Amino acid sequence: DIQMTQSPSTLSASVGDRVTITCRASQNINRWLAWYQQKPGKAPKLLIYKASSLESGVPSRFSGSGSGTEFTLTISSLQPDDFATYYCQQSNSYSTFGQGTKVEIK
Amino acid sequence: EVQLVESGGGLVQPGGSLRLSCAASGFSVSDNYMSWVRQAPGKGLEWVSIIYNSGTTYYADSVTGRFTISRDNFKNTIYLQMNSLRAEDTAVYYCARVAGSGCYGAWGQGTLVTVSS
């Protein structure tokens, strides 16, 4: 099974900060990597697919990069609506999620 | 508009059974890959099962032999039959449409399953 490890688990940041979250796969997943945002009591929302493709309607301050085993999600200028938990997901072999990164107000 | 609506969750005793439903609109489940994903209280997301447009199914090791995914093309609905339920199956269960890249582009609102005596 492919394991996905996100870091950090929690991130404290301020509005306007540049934020980067890392996701590492236990084996090569090429670019079969997606990122989601989840707010309390809500379903996850797709942000990025195929490592760097921005989902329609998602603000351009979100970007993704990486391939193979190491990937990043970057929020270029954190907005109040961005305080949430973020998950990566691999789809190279079935599906596995990272454990999540909570972005909280500093 | 693509919409997924789950139902069927509730309180069940350990060892019991429950069937979840996910009614789709705006697309045909028979033409898509569909999955169930769960989230235990305060925890992360866990993939549970997938059904391909061909009808082929796969399961996470944690539910293999106990859960069965299926679909009704006429009702445009997918199901998750859950047997021999355990306390660790307590979670919000989401159904999701799988996009071509294997990501989940559409999600339902989720239905809570609580396994407790």
Characterize the bridge pairing of strands B3-7 and B18-25: antiparallel
- Does an H or E element contain B18, and which? strand B18-25
What tens digit of pLDDT does each residue of B102-115 get?
999 999 999 999 99
> A96 to chain B nearest CA, in Å?
6
Which residue among A38, A91, A99 places its CB closest to the CB of B102?
Answer: A91
- A51: closest chain B residue by CA: B101
What is the percentage of chain A residues whose pLDDT exceeds 70?
A: 100
Angle, CA A22 vertex, CA A18 and CA A25 arms, to 5°: 165
What tens digit of pLDDT does each residue of B10-66 get?
999 999 999 999 999 999 999 999 999 999 999 999 999 999 999 999 999 999 999
pLDDT of residue B100: 87
pLDDT of residue A56: 96
Task: Choose from A32, A53, A95 for mutation: most chain B CBs within 10 A.
Answer: A95
In contact, B78 and B95? CB cutoff 8 Å: yes
Any idea what DSSP says for residue A12?
E
What tens digit of pLDDT does each residue of B63-105 get?
999 999 999 999 999 999 999 999 999 999 999 999 989 999 9
Q: What is the mean pLDDT of chain A?
A: 97
